[in-house]
Structure 1
Amino acid sequence: MTYSFLVGTYTDDASQGLNQLDFTPSENKLEIRTIFPGIQGPSFVVANSAGDKVFTLEEIDNVPGGNIISLNRSTDKPTLTKISELPSFGDHPCYLALSPNEKFLTAANYSGGNFSVYKVDEKGDLSHLQSIQHEGSSVNKGRQSAPHVHSTVFSPDGKYLLVADLGTDEVYVYNFDANSPEPVTLNNAYKVTPGDGPRHLVFSADGKEIMLVQEMTAALEILRFDSGKISQKQRISLLSEGFEGAVGAAEVRLSPDGKHIYVSNRGDANTISVISKKVSGEYEFTQQISSGGIMPRNFNLTSDGKYLLAAHQASDDIVVFERDEETGMLTQTDWKVSVHSPVYLFRLGD
């Protein structure tokens, strides 16, 4: 069994770019290679379910902003070729999402404080449909003086698009109408605790719960989602008792069976937290473990839930953990691979 991931990175020169990581535990192999060099800051990458169309971005700040790129992927050998490239219509794009039917792509622009919607045709060509600008600010003047859209996430049924804005301390709920020339319209906005800085979120498989990472307070928020409305269920701190230092909660993932939540925290913490669902439906803190490197901006699990791979932006490596499928707890292995500034892991083969 070989597990494959696309790896988004920050780049310093033209030899760097998008990578593919292949992990074969039975052969003691963990390999990574650059499959699309010469791209600027492809810090986020997604693929369709067939794995033959890949979408990435260039996280740059210029006029008219960053870029959104679609690529063909050869599935017999790891190579990528460009199909189309469009502007992101905002500065520093940082997040991409494919709609459940894979016919639409959304892109979050962090510095631009906005997001864009694209149509994806059968060949993978992109066409721009709409851009929505956020307005506002929040209590942390150093980081929240303007909107900062950090993620765009479709509900499992594709009827809603949730947009987390770190700058305004809100999660915006948009209606998504696939038949409209401008598919996104605002439904409502859920306000988080001032200074939280909402970053990434993930839905439960049934679409009834949302796991939301608050970057600036290092908290995980469990939210209920019903007919487009968000309400709070539970809040869990990601900090060990007595912790002092910088924080920066980053990524949240669910185990394949939906029973365990994993969250990374950067700053001075450099941890991965494990949170488990009890029979009652409430969640409890199960484990906090060192991520095995510096600045775990991103991580992902293998499709069978046996392993977790943590990517470290600052220590330039990806570390593998074994996962107990019953308890959800992690154990660091000796598997580790070096790569320049890895900041996103997308699992292929889903």
Structure 2
Amino acid sequence: MKSLSILTTAVALIACSSPKQEIQVNPNPEPAVTYNFLIGTYTDSLNHGINFLSFSPSENLMTVETVAAGIANPSFVIASKDGKTVYSLEEEAGVKGGKVLTFSRNPADNSLGLLDQDDSMGDHPCHISMSPNEDFVILGNYSGGNLSVFKVSPEGKLDFVQLVQHSGKSVNPDRQEKPHVHSTTFDPEGKRVLVADLGTDKVYVYDFDPSQTQPLTLFAEFPMTPGDGPRHLAFSGDGKEVLVVEEMSAMLDVFSYDNGQLAPKQRLTLLNEGFNGNVGAAEIRVSPDGKNVYVSNRGDANTISVFAKNNAGEYERVQNIASGGLMPRNFNLTLDGKYLLAAHQASNDIVIFERSPENGSLTQTPWKATVHKPVYLHRLD
């Protein structure tokens, strides 16, 4: 059995005593439904950590509470499909990188209990993905420039099985002096993993074979435009396209996807004409109905861009809207596609938008919650 550090006690004690925040909201009446999200954050004290957000429009209520405190920078958090196992990380550096943490979650009261913790095997882990069968978890380690693969035990704990190290650099000496793995994404069939590396300006495609001792094998490398800094990516609703958000150039690149091969189709800017300032494109999401693509942009922009396909089958930008705060690092949509929640690291809040069912455009609502440095939102379906 793996030994757990004093963190176990810290999480248990602090999470139990954490105050619950309630925010009254004033939406139009609608059918009773409650939306639940886990929130990853950057932390500055032992009172900060993983939060749980519940949003009920019909009750005019949004609640936020800390469910696991005493964790250092749990900037990314995901859950199993049944919501009973939660994986987070500590975005830190160390002899063996940061940490990846395994929690059991009680859906009745949303409490988290620490089950296990493992070394991330690379500095500053910043992304977690889970295989469609939930039998493997992959971490992207930003400063380490590598990705680490873990097998999930029947109890939900993780066992390290493989480390894949990238090499190389790109044109920006300050940001691309070495590899910086920013995300790892399984394709819809679960047969391949696509890795966005900001430091090398490439998207790597790996074959994934869970029957092998080392499940990942490099299939191909696809270069982006020099200086782009690929960060996150998403698949279109039909799985035939890969959409890549380029952090450093604030561009959206669209590729066809066929049997692991990427071919460029479109390149679209996130910026309004005449914009002059710093950029930092961050998150990309496809709406649950597959009709729209959403991308956030930080820097001096602080916007969310909305894209949709026209009659010719090409994407076009239909809206650029202020995100409602500062540094929209992450956002997510409710499962029914009615709302988008934008998390702002710099203004310490989460702002809710209503989404148009006709064209996917967004309208900011009065609903807003104060959260310390929220940087990731995981939807609990």
Please report the TM-score for the alignment, with normalisation by the length of structure 2: 0.91
Residue 163 of structure 1 is aligned with which of 195, 198, 206? 195
The alpha-carbon deviation at position 31 of structure 1 amounts to: 1.1
Q: Deviations over 1:182-233 (max 9, x none)?
A: 0000001000000000000011233211110000000001111111111111
Alignment of 1:228 onto 2:248? no
Alignment of 1:103 onto 2:135? yes
Residue 117 of structure 2 is aligned with which of 61, 85, 109? 85
Partner of 1:212: 244
Q: Distance in 1 between matches of 2:312 and 2:59?
A: 41
| SS of residue in 1 equivalent to 2:58 | helix
Instruction: Give 1:138's aligned amino acid.
Output: S
The alpha-carbon deviation at position 30 of structure 1 amounts to: 1.2
Aligned residues: 349
Instruction: Give 2:302's aligned amino acid.
Output: N
The alpha-carbon deviation at position 29 of structure 1 amounts to: 0.8
Instruction: Give 1:240's aligned amino acid.
Output: N
Residue 144 of structure 1 is aligned with which of 165, 176, 186? 176
Q: Distance in 2 between matches of 1:325 and 1:111?
A: 40
Unmatched segments (≥5 aa) in structure 1: none
Instruction: Give 1:167's aligned amino acid.
Output: G
Partner of 2:327: 295
Mapped contact 2:237–2:289 kept (Cα < 8 A) = no
Partner of 1:285: 317
The alpha-carbon deviation at position 277 of structure 1 amounts to: 1.6
Map 1:11-30 onto structure 2 (within 5 A).
Answer: 11-30=43-62
Mapped contact 1:156–1:206 kept (Cα < 8 A) = no
The alpha-carbon deviation at position 136 of structure 1 amounts to: 0.3
Partner of 2:288: 256
Mapped contact 1:156–1:205 kept (Cα < 8 A) = no
Q: Distance in 2 between matches of 1:277 and 1:46?
A: 30
Mapped contact 2:303–2:328 kept (Cα < 8 A) = yes
Unmatched segments (≥5 aa) in structure 2: 1-32
Q: Distance in 2 between matches of 1:156 and 1:53?
A: 22
Residue 377 of structure 2 is aligned with which of 327, 342, 345? 345
Instruction: Give 1:192's aligned amino acid.
Output: M
Q: Distance in 1 between matches of 2:55 and 2:168?
A: 44
Name the % identity.
58
| SS of residue in 1 equivalent to 2:283 | strand
Alignment of 1:265 onto 2:297? yes
Partner of 2:159: 127
Partner of 2:9: none
Larger Rg: 2
Residue 126 of structure 2 is aligned with which of 83, 94, 100? 94
The alpha-carbon deviation at position 280 of structure 1 amounts to: 2.8
The alpha-carbon deviation at position 123 of structure 1 amounts to: 1.1
Alignment of 1:186 onto 2:218? yes
Mapped contact 1:151–1:200 kept (Cα < 8 A) = yes
Runs of 4+ in 1 over 4 A off after TM superposition: none
